[in-house]
């Protein structure tokens, strides 16, 4: 297993510090959002044109995920290129032109967090997640934007990404 680890380096990097100061504290869901967004940036590039739809609970700590996504991708509420949908899963669908991907936090990770958040040591857990491989944390599904329409509400999508989808 050890050769599978990616050593992203974000645990000690500026990106993590920046995200924590943007969000106000360092937490596991923030890190998951950040890592999810970094996958999108790797696949789609960081220049403009990316949109995101985040599915998560509407309350912290899971809501913290969306700040990680915003910080990593540059998709922000203020620019209107990120949208939130309430849901039990935590996932983000990223779209740019004809490319799209859906990054979902593995249910095993969510279960692990549910069991551990009450015990404190939030920052330590966040750093631990920051150092894990993407494959340990996420399921990633790639395709054209139309592939992911099933998971979203058409009206919301039209407002969000306009001609990307239709």
Query: Which chain residues interact with Zn ion by CB under 5 A?
Result: 27, 64
CB 103 → Zn ion: shortest distance, Å?
A: 19
Q: How far is 105 from 28, CA to CA, in rounded Å?
A: 12
Residue number, 44 or 67, with CB nearest to Zn ion: 67
Rounded least distance, CB 63 to Zn ion, Å: 7
Long-range contact pairs involving 60-66 (C-beta distance under 8 Å, separation at least 24): 60/29, 61/27, 61/28, 61/29, 61/117, 62/29, 62/90, 63/29, 64/23, 64/27, 64/29, 64/30, 64/33, 65/29, 65/30, 65/32, 65/33, 65/36, 65/90, 65/92, 65/105, 66/33
Q: Supply the minimum distance, in Å, between the C-beta of residue 153 and Zn ion.
A: 26
Shorter beta-carbon distance to Zn ion: residue 52 or 95? 52
Instruction: Give the nearest distance from C-beta 33 to Zn ion in angstroms.
Output: 9
- Between 64 and 157, CB nearer to Zn ion: 64
CA R_g for the chain: 15
Which of 53, 126 has the CB closer to Zn ion? 126
Residue closer to Zn ion (CB basis): 124 or 159: 124
Residue nearest to Zn ion (CB): 64
Minimum distance from residue 28 beta carbon to Zn ion (Å): 9
Ramachandran region, residue 120 (left: φ > 0; alpha: ψ -120 to 50; beta: rest): left
């Amino acid at each position: 297993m050890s050769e599978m680890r990616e050593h992203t380096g974000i645990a000690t990097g500026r990106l993590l510090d920046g995200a924590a100061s943007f969000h106000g504290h360092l937490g596991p869901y923030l890190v998951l959002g950040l890592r999810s967004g970094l996958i999108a940036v790797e696949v789609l590039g960081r220049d403009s044109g990316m949109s995101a739809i985040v599915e998560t609970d509407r309350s912290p700590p899971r809501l913290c995920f969306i700040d990680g996504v915003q910080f990593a991708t540059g998709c922000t509420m203020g620019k209107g290129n990120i949208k939130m949908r309430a849901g039990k899963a935590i996932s983000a669908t990223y779209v740019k032109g004809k490319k799209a991907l859906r990054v979902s936090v593995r249910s095993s990770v969510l279960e692990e967090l549910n069991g551990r958040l009450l015990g404190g040591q939030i920052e330590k857990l966040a750093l631990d997640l920051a150092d894990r491989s993407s494959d340990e944390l996420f399921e990633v599904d790639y395709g054209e934007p139309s592939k992911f329409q099933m998971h979203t509400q058409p009206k919301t999508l039209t407002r969000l990404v306009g001609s990307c989808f239709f």
